[in-house]
């Protein structure tokens, strides 16, 4: 009871105990979130309420001895939002990233999540968010697989074999009951083979690891892409079979003929419009496009070769039955996911409810009575 404020702290082991690795449940929560997005019952940052987040990007040089300088994937980001429906809560994911972390035995990114009361701003929970973020990143293409992939898909290809795409693949497999073969592609063959061995043991399917790009794309029914940002990924139109579904969670390039002939479904068109607004504001739109997942599409929209975003389809529209997703078994479908804080909020909220019900976590006190009123 106010003015006393207690909130819940959930460590990574607490998050695991609360169910953060339950991919099937995560897909369900992400689908619920897409429905709310389609209805407009959410807010994110920026004047347009659709900003992905605010980034600190470090300079190449500085005169200040302690100020960080630019490095591979080195940045901080704050990703705030509000989500309505049964969640009805505000939250912010705080994201620090540095590729050099691996030299210290740390993951590239270290993330935390805060949930707050929508009225008072009081903290409700502070939680470890590396696994939460990976799970919801996977849950998004999991929802897309449910609504866009052919149900008789036999071959899944995993392009990029890091932890994020492992989460994507895990979520996708909760929706794909007919898969017989998994192809794992990575520039580092040992990583591809390691994921293939895990997939074979986990799902009882044939699984192979490859380091040839064409082998990672050709003849696959469902392809999940979450490759490294450090080396551009390019695939050819001719490698993508009839009826294939490509679920994109990382940067890529491909033939214009593929992008203009496939059906494109975005995670949320308003988010993509916000990216374009930011690109214009940056003063170098083309360079900005080069740094975002939707860049290849935005260039073609600007050139009049693809429909504008206002005339395009978001997955929330498909979930809510407002627009069509896949319309026949032969069309090739591309789904583009760029990441939205509302998914961290919804999955974090769901896990907080689980933790409370199971008595998981530590209660922390902000104050019993504020020193200043």
Contacts of 180 (CB under 8 A, 6+ apart): 154, 155, 205, 206
- 194 vs 274: CA distance, rounded Å: 38
pLDDT of res. 291: 84
DSSP 149: S
Before 3, cis peptide (omega within 30)?
A: yes
Average pLDDT on 149-154 reads 97
pLDDT digits (tens, 9 = 90+) for 240-289: 999 999 999 988 999 999 999 999 999 999 999 999 999 999 899 989 99
> Domain holding 77: CATH number?
3.30.1780.10
Check residues 158 and 72 and name the one with the higher pLDDT.
158
Domain membership flag for residue 348: yes
pLDDT band at 73 (very low <50, low <70, confident <90, very high): confident
3-class DSSP state for residue 57? strand
Q: Answer whether 262's CB lies under 8 Å from 334's CB.
A: yes
pLDDT of res. 126: 98
Contacts of 7 (CB under 8 A, 6+ apart): 122, 123, 124, 125, 126, 363, 364, 366
Q: Which domain range does residue 195 map to?
A: 140-340
286: its two tokens: 């083309």
Same domain, 185 and 301: yes
Domain membership flag for residue 373: no
pLDDT of res. 230: 65
pLDDT of res. 303: 95
Same domain, 213 and 356: no
Same domain, 158 and 272: yes
User: What is the chain's mean pLDDT, rounded?
Assistant: 95
Average pLDDT on 304-321 reads 96
What length is written for the chain? 373
> Domain holding 194: CATH number?
3.40.50.720
Strand partners, 184: 158, 209
Torsion of Cα atoms, 77 then 80 then 85 then 87, to 10°: 80
Same domain, 298 and 149: yes
Domain membership flag for residue 285: yes
| Predicted confidence (pLDDT) at residue 39 exceeds the cutoff of 90 | yes
Contacts of 290 (CB under 8 A, 6+ apart): none
pTM above 0.85, yes or no: yes
Instruction: Specify the DSSP element, H or E, that contains 207.
Output: strand 206-210
How many structural domains is the chain composed of? Answer: 2
pLDDT band at 229 (very low <50, low <70, confident <90, very high): low
């Amino acid at each position: 009871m106010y003015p006393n404020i207690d909130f819940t702290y959930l460590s990574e082991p607490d998050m695991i105990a609360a169910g953060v690795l339950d991919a099937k449940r995560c897909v369900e929560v992400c689908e619920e979130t897409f429905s709310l997005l389609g209805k407009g019952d959410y807010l994110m940052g920026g004047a347009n309420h659709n900003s992905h987040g605010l980034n600190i990007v470090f300079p190449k040089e500085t005169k200040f001895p302690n100020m960080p300088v630019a490095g591979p994937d080195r940045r901080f980001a704050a990703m705030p939002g509000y989500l309505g429906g049964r969640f009805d809560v505000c939250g912010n994911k705080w994201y620090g990233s540095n590729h050099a972390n691996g030299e210290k035995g740390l993951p590239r990114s270290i993330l935390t999540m805060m949930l707050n009361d929508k009225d008072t701003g009081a903290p409700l929970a502070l939680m470890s968010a590396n696994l939460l973020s990976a799970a919801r990143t996977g849950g998004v293409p999991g929802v897309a697989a449910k609504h866009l992939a052919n149900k008789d898909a036999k071959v899944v290809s995993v392009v990029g074999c890091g932890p994020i795409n492992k989460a994507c693949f895990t979520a996708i497999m909760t929706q794909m009951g007919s898969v017989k073969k998994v192809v794992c592609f990575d520039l580092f063959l040992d990583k591809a083979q390691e994921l293939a061995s895990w997939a074979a043991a986990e799902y009882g399917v044939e699984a192979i690891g490859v380091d040839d790009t064409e082998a990672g794309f050709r003849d696959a029914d469902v392809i999940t892409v979450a490759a490294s940002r450090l080396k551009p990924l390019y695939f050819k139109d001719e490698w993508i079979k009839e009826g294939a579904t490509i679920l994109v969670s990382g940067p890529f390039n491909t033939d214009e003929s593929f992008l203009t002939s496939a059906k494109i479904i975005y995670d949320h068109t308003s988010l993509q419009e916000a990216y374009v607004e930011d690109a214009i504001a940056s003063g170098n739109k083309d360079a900005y496009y080069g740094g975002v997942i939707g860049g290849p599409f935005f260039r073609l929209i600007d050139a009049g070769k693809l429909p504008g975003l206002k005339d395009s389809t978001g997955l929330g529209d498909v979930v809510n039955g407002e627009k069509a997703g896949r319309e026949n078994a032969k069309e090739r479908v591309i789904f583009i996911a760029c990441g939205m804080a509302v998914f961290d909020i919804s999955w974090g909220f769901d896990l907080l409810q689980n933790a409370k019900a199971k008595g998981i976590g530590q209660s922390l006190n902000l104050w019993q009575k504020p020193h200043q009123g």
